[in-house]
Structure 1
Amino acid sequence: MTVVVVGLDALDPDLVDPNAHPNLSLDAHRRIETISSSAGEPSTHELWPTIITGLTPDEHGLQLDDGVAWENPVLQVGSRLAEYTLPDGVQSRIGAWLLTNTEADAFRTPATYYAENDLETVFDDREALAIGVPNYVTDPDEEDREHQLRRRMGDLFERDPDATGGHRSSDPETFYEHCLEMTMIRLARTRRALRSGRYELVFGYTSGLDLVGHVTYDSPEMQATAYDEVDEFVGELRGDLEEGDELVLVSDHGLQDGVHTHEAMVASTDADFVDSIDSVLDVRAAIEALLENHDHRGRAREWDRSGNGDRDHVRSRLEDLGYM
């Protein structure tokens, strides 16, 4: 069957109420330890590579430099300039300007990076699909609506080192709608992959809760509403599970008052899975154990089992009939 992992960036254990959010807490959930970057708080850029490899940031090599992902190709020129001409701490302001005023995305390291650096991931050697996982880009030319919206926010989401949480928005209500649309799209893609029956592991990611949290530090009711809505979205995905399927939710850190917190969260339909995780470093091994302990090969559709879905068979029949 299928293991479905949903990465909900900034899903905060303190903001999940099992009574109000049954689909964010699932059958079991717990708070887990995370890792802080050189900037002093947990970093999305570093932590999703950690989650899929089980390695610390200094081991997988995708690290921040003073809060800015300088190894991103778009930022490399700014990095070289900053190293030679600017004092410490100013690099992050250059990065903020570049990421707000260009179409740069700090989370677009290609999946080939891992093989090139002899790094194993949870996706290796299995029928797996990664949907939007930061710094694990399987097709650099592909974009979905989340990528498009995130890169074209303009003043709806500006990086500002002087603002609470480092961000501000000219119109939080409109920004909220964009973020929830992004979340719906990523979860819809994850549902579609599950329903296709082609994969033993589907790993979808969305940044909606993180983005909303960064600009609602003075409107906590808006952040609370986002949790309510995302709980409903995950409930729709949960409803697609068939017997033997498992659903896992994982975050990289929490987020309160506009600032990343130092605890992450995991939830699952499998309580033993949750019990096996103490830290973001444990997630990869726990997913692999879940896959190995059960037959989670992609389930075939009924028409595949009958043979009518076999492309070679269809082509042969069309040739026999003179259509090809």
Structure 2
Amino acid sequence: MVLVVLGIDALDPELVDPANHPNLTLDTYQSIETINSVEGEPSTHELWPTIITGLAPKEHGLKLEDGVAWENPLLRYGSAAASYLLPDGIQTSIGAWLLNNTGEDAFRVPSTYYEKEGISTVFDGREAATIGIPNYVVDPENEDREHSLRRSLGDLFERDGSAQGGHTSSDPAAFYEQCLEMSMVRIARARRALRGGRESLIFAYTSGLDLIGHVTYDQPNLQMQAYSELDDFVGEVASDLREDDELLLVSDHGLQNGVHTHEAMVAGTSPRLVEGIDSVLDVRGAIEAELRHRDHSGPSSDSLSIKGNDTVTSQLEDLGYM
């Protein structure tokens, strides 16, 4: 009926445990290969376009050619020239200053990019809800609560090349709470889309786990607490699934000791969902195979629980998102 895909940035296959995280491992889960950027570690900027297109970064064109500094749109158009003029360390410092002191966001490439470049995505030709996917922005003029929270982190999350995880936080406890709120927003939006009954594919992304992991290298218990809470959030989505619905979790990389690791993971409510996924390049094909395999059409309004709808709507209203 409906396939729900939750993109959980930095969900690490070595940190999940079926006994403690039944909703992050679902019926079956496995480690998959990811792709490194030119900087030597996996890049969120590159990998979510790869996941929705099935193309390597050099093929879809969204690459970090000059390192993390050049994720910022203010530098994107000048990066080619600047790379000949500035040493890498200075480039990174400039990029870090801009990311810390402006409202620019690194992951806001509009969805129209793909059509203009002749690149197909998993969303083409079907009714799909796309929620917060990095570098696939359907309406660049609008932002949801996760995006606005991320953009307003300020000194709660600052780039620092000398820190173990490349970032520091002025108040890790407050930062943790804000990141969990960000994840709650996207999970709630996925639940609302599932209950709304208009799409056959719902694809929602959240970055909260990744952000927390970058600043808790010296507080591993806080990172694992985030795994436990996220397991509860995903469990709420799983509880909304009807008999014929399926849920697939996807990550772009892992994260340990503050830095990205070179393994991603998938988990699914059916072994069939994950058995053909060996790398991030295979996710699109697996989603399309599942949509072909079963009649994943949106549920009729008659099949939805009015009580359930009211519950989710009330939660969103209480959080100030509706």
TM-score (norm 2): 0.92
Q: How many angstroms apart in 1 are the aligned matches of 2:144 and 2:181?
A: 12
Q: How many angstroms apart in 1 are the aligned matches of 2:283 and 2:196?
A: 25
1:140 is matched with 140
2:319 is matched with none
Aligned AA (1:301): S
Q: Give 1:273 shift.
A: 1.6
**How far does the alpha carbon of each residue in 1:55-105 deviate from its partner, in whole angstroms, 9 at most, with x for none?**
000000000023236375332366366334312343222111111110111
1:163 counterpart = 2:146:
no
Q: Structure 1 residues 162 and 55, CA, compared in 2 at 3 Å: closer, same or farther?
A: same
Matches within 5 A, 1:54-203: 54-68=54-68, 70=70, 73-76=73-76, 79=79, 82-203=82-203
Q: How many angstroms apart in 2 are the aligned matches of 1:53 and 1:279?
A: 13
For the Cα contact (< 8 Å) 1:69–1:106, is it kept in 2? no
Question: What secondary structure is seen at the aligned counterpart in 2 of 1:247?
Answer: strand
Aligned AA (1:114): Y
1:298 is matched with 298
1:2 is matched with 2
Question: What secondary structure is seen at the aligned counterpart in 1 of 2:248?
Answer: strand
Q: How many angstroms apart in 2 are the aligned matches of 1:77 and 1:247?
A: 39
Q: How many angstroms apart in 2 are the aligned matches of 1:261 and 1:156?
A: 23
Q: Give 1:126 shift.
A: 0.1
For the Cα contact (< 8 Å) 2:10–2:254, is it kept in 1? yes
Q: Give 1:275 shift.
A: 1.0
For the Cα contact (< 8 Å) 1:45–1:69, is it kept in 2? no
Aligned AA (2:290): L
2:237 is matched with 237
TM-score (norm 1): 0.91
2:312 is matched with none
Q: Give 1:20 shift.
A: 0.4
For the Cα contact (< 8 Å) 1:24–1:231, is it kept in 2? yes
Q: Structure 1 residues 85 and 188, CA, compared in 2 at 3 Å: closer, same or farther?
A: same
For the Cα contact (< 8 Å) 1:70–1:76, is it kept in 2? yes
Aligned AA (1:156): L
For the Cα contact (< 8 Å) 1:246–1:269, is it kept in 2? yes
Q: How many angstroms apart in 1 are the aligned matches of 2:88 and 2:222?
A: 36
CA-atom RMSD, angstroms?
A: 1.5
- Structure 2 unaligned segments of length 5 or more: list them: 305-322
2:310 is matched with none
Q: How many angstroms apart in 2 are the aligned matches of 1:88 and 1:5?
A: 37
Aligned residues: 304
For the Cα contact (< 8 Å) 2:69–2:93, is it kept in 1? no
Aligned AA (2:205): Y
Percent of aligned positions that are identical:
67
Question: What secondary structure is seen at the aligned counterpart in 2 of 1:164?
Answer: coil
